[in-house]
C-alpha cells in the first residue's frame, strides 16, 4: 500500500510476463502473473517469492498466458498455444493438466478465462466462446457463440448474457 507509506515490492520472474491480476483464492487474495511457460502465484501480504505452476513441456511458445482465474483449489489459465490449463493451487511447481483440448485444437487464439461464483468457466478459442461446468465431471465444453469469421478478441459476461467482439471489431454477438 503505497498510500500507507509501505515500500514497493519487486519480484524477479523466471521469464517475461504476459499478464498479471489479483484474484481471490479460497482463503486469501493472490497475485497471478502469467508468462510463456509458467504462471506465477504469490499470496498478497506474505513475504516469499512467487511460486511457479508450469505448462507442459515440449513446446517453444511465442506468446504467453493471457488470462487466469481461480475456482476452489484450482487455478485456470488460457494460453493460445496450450489452450485451457488447470493446476491445484495447493501444488506449486506442478505441470498443468490441459482441459477440453477438443475445443481449442487448431485455433490460433485461446483467451479470456473467467469463472463465475457458481463454477461455470468461460473462455474464447478461435471464433467461439465456450463454457465448462466445473461442478460436473467429466469436464465438457459447451459452445455458446456461433462461429464467427474472425477470432474472438474480447468477451464480457453478465448474469444472463455473453457478449463477444471478433476479428477487426466490426463483428460481434450477444447471447441472452
pLDDT tens digits along 92-149: 999 999 999 999 999 888 988 999 899 999 998 888 888 899 999 999 998 876 555 6
pTM metric for this prediction: 0.86
Residue 166 cell numbers, joined: 471478433
Q: How far is CA 23 from the centre of its chain?
A: 11
Q: Which long-range contacts (CB under 8 A, 24 or more apart) does 162-167 make?
A: 162/122, 162/129, 164/124, 164/129, 166/127
Higher pLDDT, 163 or 103: 103
pLDDT at position 176, please?
45
Q: Is the pLDDT of residue 158 over 70?
A: no
Which of the pair, 4 or 50, is modelled with greater confidence? Answer: 50
Q: What is the pLDDT of residues 1-45, one digit of tens each?
A: 567 777 777 777 888 899 999 999 999 999 999 999 999 999 998
Secondary structure in 3-state letters for 85-126? EEEECCCCCCECEEECHHHHCCCCCEEEEEECCCCEEEEEEC
Scanning the structure block, which residue is given the C-alpha cell 514497493?
Answer: 8
Looking at the DSSP bridge assignments, the partners of residue 29 are 24
pLDDT of residue 154: 62
Residues forming a β-bridge with 117:
none
Please check the confidence at residue 168 and state whether its pLDDT lies above 90. Answer: no
Give yes or no for a contact between 69 and 113, defined as CB atoms under 8 angstroms apart: yes
Amino acid at each position: 500500500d503505497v498510500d500507507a507509506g509501505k515500500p514497493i515490492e519487486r519480484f524477479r520472474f523466471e521469464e517475461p510476463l504476459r499478464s498479471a491480476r489479483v484474484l481471490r483464492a479460497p482463503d486469501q487474495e493472490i497475485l497471478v502473473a502469467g508468462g510463456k511457460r509458467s504462471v506465477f502465484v504469490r499470496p498478497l501480504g506474505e513475504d516469499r517469492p512467487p511460486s511457479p505452476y508450469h505448462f507442459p513441456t515440449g513446446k517453444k511458445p511465442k506468446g504467453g498466458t493471457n488470462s487466469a482465474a481461480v475456482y476452489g483449489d484450482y487455478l485456470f489459465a488460457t494460453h493460445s498455444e496450450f489452450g485451457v490449463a488447470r493446476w491445484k493451487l495447493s501444488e506449486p511447481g506442478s505441470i498443468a493438466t490441459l482441459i477440453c483440448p477438443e475445443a481449442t485444437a487448431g485455433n490460433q487464439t485461446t483467451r479470456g478465462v473467467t469463472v463465475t461464483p457458481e463454477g461455470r468457466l468461460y473462455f474464447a478459442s478461435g471464433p467461439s466462446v465456450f463454457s465448462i461446468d466445473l461442478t460436473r465431471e467429466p469436464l465438457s465444453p459447451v459452445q455458446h457463440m456461433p462461429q464467427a469469421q474472425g477470432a474472438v478478441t474480447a468477451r464480457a459476461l453478465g448474469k444472463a448474457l455473453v457478449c463477444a467482439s471478433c476479428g477487426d471489431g466490426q463483428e460481434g454477438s450477444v447471447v441472452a
